[in-house]
Amino acid sequence: MTIDQGLGAIQSRGQRQVFPANTTTYTLTASGPGGTDTRSVTVEVSTAPAPPPTTTRPPTESGVSMLQSQGQDAYFDYDSHDIRPDARAALTNDAALLRRIFGQEPNFTVIVEGHCDERGSAEYNLALGDRRATAAKDFLVQLGVPGDKLKTISYGKERPQCTDPSESCYQKNRRAHLAPGQ
């Protein structure tokens, strides 16, 4: 018995291992007193699939960084905690942002800060700031933000964003602001 492709003679009850680099057809020829018989077999060699390309994700921006760069303050009218149209737009943007942040960082929490302008007593402004923070939080929850990830705090008039005695400055201080939780 012989096998072509340079393998040569083999025993009639023997075996032969082959390790072709490419798909190859081998022909076995057996000759004896009864005649000759030929059989062929093809060994298919397929190359291993290329490994998937390694995708390097760009570094993910942290929740703190996203909140600081993309978060928007919600502004309020004088002596009010009602959510006005421009505040609705800002909080709607914030809700989408917070859902992305919480999806990326499930343990992230946010503090909704209530701020007031300098007019009025400290006690009155602390209470008004609390109502503003609560109104903003409630609005965010209505938009699908998990309420257990939001805490509120009032700073009243203690942390002004602007200190000029003008209406435009007072407006900047009447706000709800989102800050990373601890």
pLDDT (0 to 100) of residue 95:
97
pLDDT at 42: 83
- The torsion angles phi and psi of 140, rounded to 5 degrees, stand at -60, -40
Residues 89 and 154 in one domain: yes
The confidence score (pLDDT) of residue 20 equals: 75
Beta strands in the chain (DSSP E): 2-3, 8-9, 24-32, 35-43, 74-75, 110-115, 150-156, 175-180
How many structural domains is the chain composed of? 2
| Domain of 30, in residue numbers | 2-13+20-43
CATH (domain of 135)? 3.30.1330.60
Amino acid at 100: R
| pLDDT over 70 (residue 129) | yes
pLDDT by residue (tens digit) across 165-179?
A: 899 999 999 999 999
Phi, psi at 111, each rounded to 5°: -105, 125
Asked whether residue 53 is assigned to any structural domain, the reply reads no
> Which of 38-47, 96-105, 135-144 is least confident?
38-47
31 vs 19: which has the higher pLDDT? 31
Instruction: Quote the mean pLDDT of the chain.
Output: 89
* Single-letter amino acid, residue 169: C
pLDDT, one tens digit per residue, over 144-157 is 999 999 999 999 99
